[in-house]
């Protein structure tokens, strides 16, 4: 059973919400911060409360490494501890590292993030140096069931700069990326029929949703863009496959939910937002499947 299979099972049980632990120190409520602790220690304490509160309503967690790198060694200790706490729930954990190098360097990135202190179940990668920027990670997929989500068609405005450029055969660059990775992923298919090579497909450009989902039925999607970036549940539901086959990330919307729920503790507010988001997306999925 691969980690993508485990992700499928988790979404089936808990729903498609991916809780983004992209925890900036400034997100912590002022009255929660312990001045006797370092910034990283405070972040860990905040994340621990968030994880405990949301683990029954989340399909997975995603930890964006940049927020921890910005705090130096203190932050990297917080990163390792956050990964450990999130994985201890039994839910799949995605390390959002977006590595994109080749050869021995990529081998070292794979070792760093699929083993040891920074081990995660799945990681994000950037493909624009070519398929040899992906291949060093594949032995871990084959031997340990690890998984990758590769940037394909992202949710940021700059996606138009390169990803949407049209090729001579009429496809876009993102089509080429998706086609190439889907072919590569056929050798890494799990019990659920999904490949261990998934794609990052942004939920803010909705025109192609049904086309993309139909084109890659055996590819799991990591879907950013919900909420703060403008993605609506009605649109995002079209990137899922009967409510599964993808996870929908929300970071600030969950981490800062307490600011929109006056008088509610930050961890309870995060749980409330997870449940609201899950019901919002699942409600739209039921309209499509119904």
Q: Which residues are identified as catalytic?
A: 98
Alpha-carbon distance of 123 to 148, in angstroms, equals 5
Residue 120 Cα distances to 46, 112, 136, 139, angstroms: 20, 10, 16, 15
Alpha-carbon distance of 129 to 73, in angstroms, equals 29
Q: Which of 181, 239, 191 is nearest to 212 (CA)?
A: 239
Token pair, residue 231, equals 């993605």
Structural contact between residues 24 and 64, judged by C-beta atoms closer than 8 angstroms: no
Longest dimension (CA), the chain: 61
Helix (H) or strand (E) holding 20: strand 17-20
Structural contact between residues 115 and 108, judged by C-beta atoms closer than 8 angstroms: no
Alpha-carbon distance of 32 to 35, in angstroms, equals 9
Q: What angle do CA 82, 99, 215 make, to 5 degrees?
A: 100
Token pair, residue 127, equals 């493909």
Q: Please report the DSSP string for 147-187 in residue order.
A: EEEEEEE-SSTTHHHHTTPBPTTS-BHHHHHHHHHHHHHGG
Half-sphere exposure of 266 (CA within 13 A, CB side): 19
């Amino acid at each position: 059973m691969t980690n993508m299979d485990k992700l499928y099972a988790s979404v089936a049980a808990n729903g498609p919400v991916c809780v983004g632990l992209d925890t900036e120190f400034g997100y912590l409520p002022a009255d929660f911060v312990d001045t006797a602790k370092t910034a990283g220690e405070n972040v860990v304490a905040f994340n621990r409360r968030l994880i405990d509160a949301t683990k029954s309503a989340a399909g997975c967690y995603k930890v964006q490494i940049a927020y921890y790198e910005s705090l130096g060694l203190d932050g990297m200790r917080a990163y390792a501890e956050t990964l450990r706490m999130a994985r201890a729930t039994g839910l799949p954990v995605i390390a959002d590292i977006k590595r994109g190098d080749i050869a021995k360097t990529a081998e070292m990135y794979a070792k760093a993030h699929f083993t040891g202190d920074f081990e995660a179940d799945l990681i994000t990668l950037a493909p624009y140096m070519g398929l040899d920027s992906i291949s060093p990670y594949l032995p871990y997929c084959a031997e340990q069931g690890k998984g990758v989500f590769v940037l394909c068609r992202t949710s940021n405005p700059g996606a138009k700069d390169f990803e949407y450029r049209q090729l001579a055969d009429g496809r876009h660059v993102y089509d080429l990326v998706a086609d190439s990775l889907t072919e590569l992923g056929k050798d890494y298919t799990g019990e659920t029929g999904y490949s261990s090579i998934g794609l990052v497909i942004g939920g803010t450009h909705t025109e192609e949703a049904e086309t993309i989902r139909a084109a890659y039925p055996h590819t799991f999607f990591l879907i950013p863009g919900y909420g703060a970036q403008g993605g609506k549940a009605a649109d995002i539901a079209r990137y899922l496959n009967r409510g599964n086959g993808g996870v929908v990330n929300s970071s600030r919307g969950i981490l800062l939910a307490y600011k929109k729920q006056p008088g509610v503790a930050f961890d309870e507010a995060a749980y409330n937002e997870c449940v609201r988001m899950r019901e919002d997306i699942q409600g739209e999925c039921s309209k499509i499947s119904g």
